[in-house]
Structure 1
Amino acid sequence: MKDNSIAIIDLGSNSIQFAIYQIENNLVKTEEAKRVKVAARLISYVNSQGNITREGIDFTLQILKEFKKHGEESGVNRIIGFATAVIRNAANKEDVLAEIQQETGIPFSILSGYEEAYFGFLGIIQATDLQDGITIDIGGGSTEITLFRNRQMVEYHSFPFGAVNLNDQFTKGENVTAQQTERLQAYLVEQLQTLPWLSKAGLPVIGIGGSAKNLSRIHKAKCKKNSLNMSIQDIHHVYEELSSLSVTERANIKGLSKKRKDIIIPAVQIISILMEMTQSPYFLYCTQSVRDGFIYNLIEKTNNAS
């Protein structure tokens, strides 16, 4: 089989991403051969009725059409897309998907909470040799956590909160107050305690996605080490510094994307509480993503069908 390529569009709550994968002999040849990302923050276009607004739909269609054009110019053989929490939870999700199909012709599916968690786990398993661990993927509007043992996912949960909607609910504003962070912490502890399998698991926590990446980059810039492993104390130090600064001041933190400076506090807080609750020995950022798990699963299904 000659080389071919597939473009995956990941329509998330905080960003919309386009990634091209090269396929050779029914295997993913590389990680992402090319990636384009737009920080669309589609979750901010959800109205009080739970519908994605006309403005949000039009903005999404504009981005998808640009991605389709980019894919055609790059000579990809196939473009497929998936949506996560922002579309999954929208009251008008069927209408949005129908309009995407009509306007772009790109086949889109909505990932369930299980699929989003599983594909994140699958991406991590492909990239590490860890036998046991806990995975976390903090999106804009959902957070997926899994427990794996002997490289098999044995538990999972998808929470309907992420960095963007937690910030809107608890920490919005130029300066975060102690009262805000205390309310956020109490809420997150209450939520995570609903998963008894997390208690004192004593396993590494592996994070994927933009929030985990930014946390790791901040730490790396500070300690100037190649090791990406972070202790709970390392995470506390990052959190204390970030929460002491205004949103504007956070723009000067090395390793922190300016597009995440307003939503990083809730994300770091989730990881911090998860580390404490599980008594984890360390946190590790993994460069793989839900997209990687999605493409691995797609290729595996294709191979099994042939």
Structure 2
Amino acid sequence: MSDSKSTMKLVEYLDREGNLSRKGIDKLTGYVGEARQLVDRMKCEEMISFATSAVRDAANGEAVLDHVERETGIRLEILSGEDEARLTFLAVRRWYGWSAGRIINLDIGGGSLELTSGEDEDPEAAYSLLLGAGRLTHEWFDTDPPDRKKIALLRDYIDAELVAPAKHLRALGEADLAVATSKTFRTLARLTGAAPSSAGPRVRRTLTAPGLRQLIAFISRMTAADRAELEGVSANRSHQIVAGALVAEASMRSLGLEQVEICPWALREGIILRRLDGDLDGKG
């Protein structure tokens, strides 16, 4: 078994016209090439390759996919925002099981926010909004620490974007279990007192609305370098954790959630589970 990760932060390479820059394309191509080499070395029978918000929403997305394929031989599959949300929900459902009842799930990525609610493995409603932590940091913050007026304006913007999705999700019924996935939520939970990753995936971790509000007041006045010194905050994510915290707080507030459980499974596991389901059904 092997685990290898590389932080892309591709939304930071989008220009004003929405195109992924040459530097961003080269970074993505290099990573896909490295992944291909790892797959070959480990003699894997199959490589599942996909891209999400940054490439999906880039104006030159198709050209990016063509370039990566020419250079690496790998054609990345673009997941729609809804598919991304639904696959993440599948992973959450499998982790908690049927006894969890109605689940509502929140997932903050670099480029988008996914919201889902349902009682089955496939959610009744799935939303993908352009409210990712990296995207909002790139588009809204130009000082370090962020300007207080910009933070207030961003709060208002996030609230406005959440009105319609939150209204629909709440109309489906109260959740028996409120869940959050993604590195952003895990980091926020850690900063508010949750167990570290070294404690293992089965340790219960939660994030509360009061704790999150206190955390925002604290980290929004710090520089990215100072935030990177906090336990649980990686240097490559410290600059975007404020925007991520604002999205998390607004999402929980709009949905009336005072607490969310942190699920260790998310999109990656959802994709694997769906692929395994296909094999079991004779579709693989």
| Corresponding residue for residue 300 of structure 1 | 277
| Corresponding residue for residue 162 of structure 1 | 132
| Corresponding residue for residue 16 of structure 1 | none
Change (3 A) 1:157 1:74: same
Report the Cα offset of residue 40 of structure 1: 2.2
Report the Cα offset of residue 109 of structure 1: 0.8
TM value normalised by structure 2: 0.88
Structure 1 residues 116-174: Cα deviation after superposition (integer angstroms, max 9, x where no partner):
00111011111113222211111111111111225541111111231112112323321
**Does the 8 A contact of 1:174 with 1:248 survive in 2?**
no
1:255 aligns with 2:232: yes
Q: In structure 2, what is the Cα distance between the partners aligned to 1:270 and 1:114?
A: 19
**Does the 8 A contact of 1:146 with 1:156 survive in 2?**
yes
Q: In structure 1, what is the Cα distance between the partners aligned to 2:36 and 2:168?
A: 42
**Does the 8 A contact of 1:202 with 1:281 survive in 2?**
no
1:132 aligns with 2:132: no
Secondary structure of the residue that 1:116 maps to in structure 2?
helix
Structure 1 residues 77-101: Cα deviation after superposition (integer angstroms, max 9, x where no partner):
1112001011111222222212222
**Does the 8 A contact of 2:85 with 2:114 survive in 1?**
yes
Q: Where in structure 2 are the equivalents of 1:84-95 lying within 5 Å?
A: 84-95=52-63
1:180 aligns with 2:150: yes
- Residue type of the alignment partner of 1:76: C
1:66 aligns with 2:37: no
| Corresponding residue for residue 189 of structure 1 | 159
| Corresponding residue for residue 193 of structure 2 | 220
| Corresponding residue for residue 118 of structure 2 | 148
Change (3 A) 1:222 1:62: closer
Report the Cα offset of residue 227 of structure 1: 4.0
Change (3 A) 1:89 1:38: same
1:275 aligns with 2:252: yes
Structure 1 portions without partners, runs of 5+: 1-32
**Does the 8 A contact of 2:208 with 2:258 survive in 1?**
yes
Report the Cα offset of residue 286 of structure 1: 1.1
| Corresponding residue for residue 123 of structure 1 | 91
Q: In structure 2, what is the Cα distance between the partners aligned to 1:241 and 1:180?
A: 16
Report the Cα offset of residue 305 of structure 1: 3.1
Structure 2 portions without partners, runs of 5+: none
Aligned partner of 1:266 among 231, 243, 248: 243
Higher-strand-fraction structure: 1
Percent of paired sites with the same residue: 24
Q: Which runs of 4+ in 1 moved over 4 A?
A: 199-202
**Does the 8 A contact of 2:116 with 2:169 survive in 1?**
no
